[in-house]
Structures are given as structure tokens and as C-alpha cells.
Structure 1
Amino acid sequence: DDMREGDAGVDKMALARNQADTLQAVTLTYFRVLKSDDMTDSKVAELLPPALEGLAKFAHLINMDTVVDLLDVLKKMLKRVDALPTDAALNCVLTAFQTLEGPGREMQIDQKEYLLPLYNQLPRLVANDSCRDVGLALRCLSAAFLRRREYSDVRVAAFVRRLSSVALHAPPESSAPILAFVRQLLHRYPGISRLLENEQDVVASGRYLPESNDPERCNAFAGSAWELSLT
């Protein structure tokens, strides 16, 4: 019996080592895809979404050294995120947030560099009309605003305004979950409730700039979120 218990202990250790080795091998494979010099290559473009999806799934398990390398690669990718397919772009953002939720949570990083590309990918949801892309975007948004606390009401308000606009132009099967998420934001962040005030009651300088690429410069509180009344 003692020998069998000893063998079982060895097996568990071997299993843990094998799992760690497998994770390392899979992660390196994904990294090779992400570090490709030519993202326009058809083979790379085909492999990129599943590679990012896989990294998003395993990001919370990788070690700190790998986290630093991964975030560095993701930052470079996010600088040219508009050139990526929508699903790859959103998975890139999701991978970053998943990484920061896991081992990367100890790193002092301003998450604005991941919020900005997410903010600017939202209009693509209307153009692509893909429920899968909407689902991916909502996972990113949940990681950004529900699973963590955003301390800038200005940022949250900007996302509410942009999401409301997207919902206004999206088909019902896409607009419904987007509006449900907006309601969650309004509940979690009471500081943005003034977006629901009548237009005449809003006291703000300037005007709302919906085309701005920066959520902190779009002046989201200049006016009410009238889009919500039309959806």
C-alpha cells in the first residue's frame, strides 16, 4: 500500500511537470504566430485569431517572465490593430486583460493603452454585423469594467455613449446584449447617471465629439445619452 501511495505521488508530480511543459510548448507556438513579421500573409492571418484566443484562455497560467514578453508583443500588435481582422483585434485586447487579471495583476500598468484600442474597435461591430464579434467585445468590456474597477467616470461615460451609438445601428440580436451591458455599467458606476438627464438639464461646456479616438477627450458628459431613448 505504501509503495502504491508513493507511486501515486510520483505520478501526480510527473503529471504536473508534463502539464507545465505542454503549456510552455503551446505558448511558444502561439508566440511564434504573434511575432510574425508579415501579418498580411494569408497563413499568418488564418492562424492569428486562434493563437490569440488560445493565449487569452491560458494567460492566467503563464509565469511572470512570459507575461512581460506577452504584453510587449500585444502592445506592438495593438499599435496596428486596425489592420487586423475584427476577431483578432478583439482577442488581442482580451488577451491583454486576461493576462493582467492573472500573474500580471502585480504589475503597475495604466490600462488605458488597452482601453483605447477597444474603444476604437467598437464601431467595427456595426460594419461586420457578427454576433460572435459582439460576444468577444462584451467579454473585453466585462474584463475592463466589471471584473475590475475603473476609477475614471469620464472613460466609462465615453464607452456608454459609443456603445449606445453602436446599439442604435446594430441589428436586434446584437443591440440587445450591448444594451444589457450598458445597463450593467449604469448600475455599477452611479457617477455616470447624469447621462440619463434631460438635455436641457445638462450643465457642461463644449459639445460631445463622437468621432474622437480618445474616450477622455470626446466630452461624453456634454449632453445626455439620447441614443438610449431610440433603441
Structure 2
Amino acid sequence: MGNAMAGVIDSIWEILCKACNWVLSKIEWCLNYISEKTNNLVNRAKRFYDNLTESLKESIAKAKRAIDEKLENAADLVRSIKKKSIISSCSDVEAAKKLVVQIKNLVVSMLKLILDLNKSESGKSFLTLMDEVSLKTGKKKLGVGEFKEDMMDTCGVMSRVGYLVRGFLPLIIVVTEKPDKILCVIVEVCKLFFKEPNRNKSIKEMKNMESTSFKLLESDEERKAAASIYIALLSFASNFGF
């Protein structure tokens, strides 16, 4: 491997390191945001507790404890990952692969947590209980509608982060196992980045990006890596609506 190619590989590794830290910061933001919004909703509901049954109040408390437990478990995992050396070099490829898989799983768990606000394995979901409260207090007073909109927006943010993260492992594979292909990946990304006038991609467009925008690349790993780099460029350029 020549010096020029080695420099390119090192630069990509550095970007991947920054991207991992950036994703962890978005996960922390998501955890804090869900905690803040659910706390606010429960506190509003408590203003009307005199009009609620004991059973309903107990169900709300139980649902909130379940949410808080999931948030804390996710926060513990983020803290555990941040204590490690976040892919600072390609000296330990297997450790890097395990790390990005952990980060990917964290993003998936964030999406699941948001979706689970509207369902429950046992009993009524948090949002179902809040809807019951709103029937007794008035939806505008409680703000359930605004809460649902906030969670939809948050789900959209984490979905976009998910499409960035899904390319991390393929990118490591291309960089470490197919270094001769990385320039082809970069060329295709740059061609799209400077050609595409609408950079505010929808979730559907991102889903189809690998098979449409990067169809000239030979392997699935190369296409996923290209999509991840492209989304990272959009995100870091503040053109992606984060």
C-alpha cells in the first residue's frame, strides 16, 4: 500500500471515529429528550390526579418506571462504550467491528423504545394511559397530541442516524479487506454529493440509495459503505435536518 493510499485509509478511519462519537451523542440526546418529555407529560397528568382512579394512577406509575428502566439501561451501555477507545486506529479491527455493532444495536433499541411508548407487553401502554387521562382533563391541557408529534420527530431523527450507522461495519470491511476499492467508493460518493441538488433525503430515499445511487459499485459492502459516507457528509454539513 502506497503512502497516498495509507493516508486515505487513515483519514477514513478518523472520520469513522468521529462519526461513532457523533452517533453516541445523538443517542444521549434521544435518551434525555424522551426522559424530559415523558416526565413533563406525567407531571401534567398529576395536576389532575384528584379526578383519576387509583388503578389508573398506579398503571401510569408502573408504565413510567418501565420507561425509566429502559432509558437507564441504554444510558449505562452508552457510558460503557464511551469508556472504550472509540476506533482510534485500525490496530484492532475485530474490536472496532464489535464496537460498531454495539452502537448499531443501541440505535435500534432507541427506535424500539419510542415505538413501545404506544404498546405494552402487559397492561396498557404509556400513551394509551395518557389518552385516558386526556379524556378526563382535555387533550389541550395535557398535551398528548404534542407529545406524540415530538416522538414522531424523534423517531425520524433516530431513523436517519440508523441509516448512517448501518454502513459502519461494511465501511470497516472495505477499508481493511478491500482497500483497493475504497477510492471507487469515495468517487461515487463525491459524484452524488456534488451532483444531487436535493440533499435533504427522506427515509424512503435513503432506503433505496444503495440500489439506485450506488448501483455501479460491485459489492453490497461497498454500496452500504458509500451510503454511510454520503449520509455522514450531509449530517456533518448541517444539511440533513438534524
Q: Structure 1 length as normaliser, TM-score? A: 0.32
Larger relative helix fraction:
2
Q: Which has the higher contact order (CA 8 A, sep 6+)?
A: 2
Q: Structure 2 length as normaliser, TM-score? A: 0.31
